[in-house]
Structure 1
Amino acid sequence: MVHWSFVFFWWDLESGEGESCDNFTDLNLSHCFMGTSLYVRLLLYTRSNLDCGRELNHHYLSSQPLFNLARPTAFVIHGYRPTGAPPIWINHIVHLLAEQEDMNIIVVDWNKGAANLNYFTAVTYTREAAQNLTGFIMTMQEEGASLSSVHLIGVSLGAHLAGFVGANLKGKIGRITGLDPAGPMFTSATPEERLDPSDAMFVDVLHTDMNSFGLRGAHGHIDFYANGGADQPGCPKTIFAGKSYFVCDHQRSVFLFLCALNRTCSLTGYPCSSYSDFLDGRCLQCEAFKPASCPVLGYDVSQWRDTLLKLGETKVFFSTTATLPYRKLSYRVDMVTWNQYLRWGVVYIRLHSGRNFTEARIDHKLLRFEQYTSTRLLAQFDEDLQQVQKISLRISTGNVIGPRYKIRLLRIRFTPLDRPERPLMCRFDIIMEENMEVAFRPLPCNSHL
């Protein structure tokens, strides 16, 4: 049964303080063991009450003066809560959304329903919660709000809940953002049974855990795949890490989105058919998006909407570091080799600035180096060194016995992808031995030694 919540105000007669704050429902494991029945609460935040939520009446919107239907409205929808505790990121996303523009921010608190040890029960409740939220948005529309100004942000199971709301409203919602939509129970689902592009005028999706709790495939007008959409750097690789082993990759979607909202990490997605092709340097241009740049994860991705709607479903890939601000610095590296003997190996590149250096290892597969062959690489560095004074290069072939063969580079060129204002760096005619590092000072590409 769905319980409808109402707003209650009280006045502290002793302190003279006004209305109390309405907080996200805080449950514990005992509630999860016993099971919870669905109870949907809608907590309103605006720039006027960022730290003090106001619970909305589902039927009488005029009872809350802070709720301005002329403003855009973003709904934040959490997912499955196996411990019953409030999501640690709720306050962060509320504050960061308020920085984007003046809007109503409504946290959809369905913790009573999502907090069940039986995941199947929580999945069942998504349909009921979607009916609840659909009714509220229809009331908004009746009182003058535009559906095109509504943005649903759903995390995990909440992404599908958002999709059900969008489908109920015939796809007229302005935007749905799905943060690693849940995979279990949805792997074989039809588009009507999960989030899909028809659920809103614009659907953007971020994938971080497709091989576990997240959903494989493409489910939006644009799908961002962080580090290929599966294993995330810095997350535990063994079960001995405890809870983090299970949730780290899945939760990374939220932290990447928060970082993007904070504008501290500009995470550019490159359209490509696969992550391996992206790592091979085959997808480092965004011709279809000119004169604009490649799509960037975050609140402003809707500026590419018209192009994306023309292109159809678009997959974009990017890599991150293990920690904040997550952004890697990317260079396209073009080499022309002239070695006599065919060699296979991996490439290590270091950029130096004074005593500081950062290294890129291009080791996802063996690369082929042969006579007069042009090779394109994607080199991704964890740190941004603004002034590169020296570059060192090593081609590791794994050859530990026999003679070391020489590899001749007729030209090597470094093109900064994330910092197009920076000059290209080149070097010409370098003789190096396999497995031995060679260092050189980069030159402007219009120079020649």
Structure 2
Amino acid sequence: MEILPRMVFLLVLAALCGGETQGADRECATFTNLGFPDAFLGTKLQVRLLLYTREDLQCGKLLLHHNLSAHPLFNMSRPTTFIIHGFRPTGEPPDWLYTAKDLLAALDDMNIVLVDWNRGATNLNYFSVVSNTRQVADNLTDFIQNMENHSASLASIHMIGVSLGAHISGFVGAKLNGQIGRITALDPAGPQFNGQPPEERLDPTDAQFVDVVHTDMDALGFRKPLGHIDFYPNGGADQPGCPSTIFSGKEYFKCDHQRSVYLFLNTLNKTCNITSYPCPSYSDFLNGKCLSCPDFMPSGCPIFGYYVIKWKETLLKLRQTSAYFSTTVNRPFCKTNYVLNMTAWNSEPRWGTITVKLHGDRAVSEATVNHKAFKFQQYTDTLLLAQFDEDIYPIQRISLQFSTSNLVGPRYKLRLLRFWLGALEHRDRPQLCRYDIVLAEKMEVHHREVSPEVKV
């Protein structure tokens, strides 16, 4: 008679603790966590694929290459996104990895596969890690071919590769004859890849659509275009808020490079849309030469990030597009862009910079167009790009200030026949216009009544 109560007790205990009947299904695989000693000694390559789905988003399942049927949550009719990290000099898991997984799952019902090659990527010897990238690509290629054998569509695969992970994605895509649906490359690694032919790095033929963002092209990243569209935020090199000296420690080395990840992740939660502007260079963009979208882009200028896929057909026709935008220091990174048109009245040319402030009910946002001195010439329109960290709307008043680089000598005045201000990303808003203004050097001039004109 004592056996029955004991069995009941064990069954209840098993249910509470997730006993053997559920243990195999509930066993969660986690990303490999290593440390600096591992990096110092070097690690032997091991590739692990961790599956996450909406059904079990907090519990990763270790995928087996040759027994896909053992994973009932791995549905081949869903799209599949692979996330591939890069060089890991200290061995710990990337801090953004699980955030990316959660944000992607919120967007669509998909298979999310975290490619864990931390053993192989953790090594102080970068060149040794680079030599492992081909083997990682071979491993992934075999797995994807097995997926295809189980009725998965290559066109529904999206590979998101960071640094070395970007080139790994390219190697996989090349082996699969460019049939993968999309590769997103987040600051592809530059060292050992700069100057290499297309077959030795990522290139546009590796997938049906390749989008790339460059944030550290003067150090750890790749400089030249690699995709159908290449984004260069803040010019693609130094990112706002990142340390400029080595005294800041490891942030000096990784901040610019890693900003590509955070910029892309920010586009997943739709906090704000960052419009990019096709342009020959960042300086041309800042100089206001690329503020209107070409006629061959009927949907307007491409939005940076995850949703640039909506511009796929147009961008494929162009073959390669480089696009630029600026960001703020902190999330969500979006700036609000205005075009400022000023018509000077001075008989003599004036050289200087302009600061514009937008005043709302309780906030003020400032844009200083000072990356170079502009020439203001009589009866000539000067077009400027004014970028604000905060979107002030409705605008109650505007203030302007004219400055020159003269430290000694006379103070100049800039007289304007007219200025008008139009929001680039909010073309439904009216232009704001003012006539006959005198700007004394370094004196802020306020205008409480700004008349709306025709829409931008």
Q: Give TM class, smaller chain.
A: over 0.9
Query: Match for residue 307 of structure 1?
Result: 314
The range that moved more, 286-295 or 166-175, is 286-295
Deviation track 1:202-243 (CA, whole Å, cap 9, x = no partner) reads: 000011000111000100000011100000000011111000
Are residues 1:149 and 2:156 paired?
yes
Query: Match for residue 67 of structure 1?
Result: 74
In structure 1, distance between residues paired with 2:454 and 2:144: 59
Q: Which amino acid aligns with 1:378?
A: L
The range that moved more, 27-36 or 282-291, is 282-291
Match of 1:323 among 318, 325, 330: 330
Instruction: Determine if contact 2:403/2:441 at 8 Å carries over to the other structure.
Output: yes
Are residues 1:225 and 2:227 paired?
no
Percent identity over the alignment is 57
CA-CA distance at 1:401 after TM superposition: 3.8
Instruction: Determine if contact 2:178/2:207 at 8 Å carries over to the other structure.
Output: yes
Query: Match for residue 25 of structure 1?
Result: 32
Query: Match for residue 273 of structure 1?
Result: 280
Are residues 1:368 and 2:370 paired?
no
The runs of at least 4 aligned residues of structure 1 exceeding 2 Å deviation read 11-14, 287-291, 398-406
CA-CA distance at 1:446 after TM superposition: 5.4
Query: Match for residue 128 of structure 1?
Result: 135
Are residues 1:87 and 2:94 paired?
yes
What is the SS of the residue equivalent to 1:372?
Answer: coil
What is the SS of the residue equivalent to 1:331?
Answer: strand
What is the SS of the residue equivalent to 2:317?
Answer: helix
Change (3 A) 1:12 1:23: farther
Count of aligned positions: 437
Query: Match for residue 404 of structure 1?
Result: 411
Matches within 5 A, 1:253-402: 253-402=260-409
In structure 2, distance between residues paired with 1:66 and 1:174: 22
Query: Match for residue 416 of structure 1?
Result: 423
In structure 1, distance between residues paired with 2:182 and 2:148: 16
In structure 1, distance between residues paired with 2:14 and 2:350: 79
Q: Which amino acid aligns with 2:317?
A: K
Match of 1:444 among 423, 432, 452: 452
What is the SS of the residue equivalent to 2:131?
Answer: helix
Q: TM-score, normalised by structure 2?
A: 0.93
In structure 2, distance between residues paired with 1:227 and 1:289: 25
In structure 1, distance between residues paired with 2:413 and 2:61: 70
Change (3 A) 1:81 1:340: same
RMSD, aligned α-carbons: 1.5
Query: Match for residue 18 of structure 2?
Result: 16
Match of 2:201 among 194, 203, 210: 194
Q: Which runs of 5+ in 1 are unaligned?
A: 1-10
Instruction: Determine if contact 2:137/2:172 at 8 Å carries over to the other structure.
Output: yes
In structure 1, distance between residues paired with 2:298 and 2:204: 25
The range that moved more, 179-188 or 340-349, is 340-349
Instruction: Determine if contact 2:430/2:454 at 8 Å carries over to the other structure.
Output: no
What is the SS of the residue equivalent to 2:77?
Answer: coil
Q: Report the structure number with the largest CA radius of gyration.
A: 2
The range that moved more, 52-61 or 430-439, is 430-439
What is the SS of the residue equivalent to 2:56?
Answer: coil
Q: Which runs of 5+ in 2 are unaligned?
A: 1-12
Bigger helix fraction: 2
Instruction: Determine if contact 1:74/1:106 at 8 Å carries over to the other structure.
Output: yes
Query: Match for residue 3 of structure 1?
Result: none
Change (3 A) 1:446 1:184: closer
CA-CA distance at 1:355 after TM superposition: 4.5
In structure 1, distance between residues paired with 2:35 and 2:454: 65
